[in-house]
Structure 1
């Protein structure tokens, strides 16, 4: 806005910024509201103290001494608009189409303020996101004590880039994660890249039958098959959560081999040994 003032014999105009009216969320602008919250991006939410007291444990309405006081929160307006909907008696948001970049801070806010009507549905939707965002879900589950979800997500993280995971994990989870990965590395060393006794895994090893020693007939396929499998397993511990990608005979180049029944049996045995060893790895939550 402009105002005019005299400078000597002339009238000069000056421009000053007029104070802007604060933005108020249209959904939560109750005339009889007795508590006002301000989001991190400057939007006001005028709501009812009683609803907060009934539906949550974390909001501070009892600390607000007057109706004119504004409580500043760290959450953005998009988060608070959804969160406050869980505090009023109407159908709550299903969150089934909510993108992860909105769902994650909402789930955090629901846990932070103990908004009970929102906590369970947020937890369910976060679980639905484990395939797309395993590390973020693991951090959420660990922070808010969902041990079964931590254990479900952790094996998926083994298949990811280890440096990326460490960069995303909070400090308190890095050492437990390193210990957990070490268990997988032991399985990889003992069962995945150690040569099995197959058709002719290492030359022609004699096999004892009763009190005698017999020599198996020569298998031309197994040495080639063995090299291919070891190459796949040699990529590292991150291949272990996906045994189909390693042992599936219908995937290239295994599909070019004319697999003998003995080779198929050895593949099944080898895979089974690895899966049994993986099943004996302690759950990630035990390292916390």
Structure 2
């Protein structure tokens, strides 16, 4: 326990120093970037440096909001409005998370199925894998409007189009990781299963898939974060009324940088939460796997 505390202390000091330097630079930049606006519209002719600092750190529509303004705005949004209100950032976070999780599940199922197909067929390995890799060379900003227009023409709107964009970003890391993981069992293990005439399905469930779990969960952490980004990108061209991407869009329309930064902070916290959930599931699964 003491060793763990000492190690945590050694790691926390550099992190704290970097954080403090970052905050200091942020506040200095806020003064520099907001100064012109407050000098021309807020401050008296004989203003002092202290008045300048106070005014630049508390502008209602700053060019660069300060961290405490962002924290206050997020807190007020979450406490002064019902969770079901479009003014509450938790409401928008749930809308985005719902689509991201749906896309993550769809991408995970697709990625695992593609990996199973690829490892069992050399022909499909040569045919599919290059196209799977090439699919990620298309920027999501370019493909999102196309997918949304096509699905919209088919009458598919709402959650599913955003989930499809999230799936597009989620399936790739899971597919690549699962291909490596399903091929990871040693040759001796595979020969032993072959000697006992174990069926391909049993080999997959008893040997290949358990061996692939250490590859799967890191890919899932990457995929869930990518799916969140894809969901927010999908919310931009549709003019969505809800979601963190829609919140960013509204903030950009009205030049409300505080709204933009608040949505970005909540999106970051949501990403950390989702990856934390995946890490917790990984810990639980791998612990039971080792006991078994």
Q: TM-score, normalised by structure 2?
A: 0.24
Higher share in helix: 2
Larger Rg: 1
Richer in strand (by share): 1
TM-score computed with the length of structure 1 as normaliser: 0.25
Greater relative contact order (Cα 8 A, min sep 6): structure 1 or 2?
A: 2
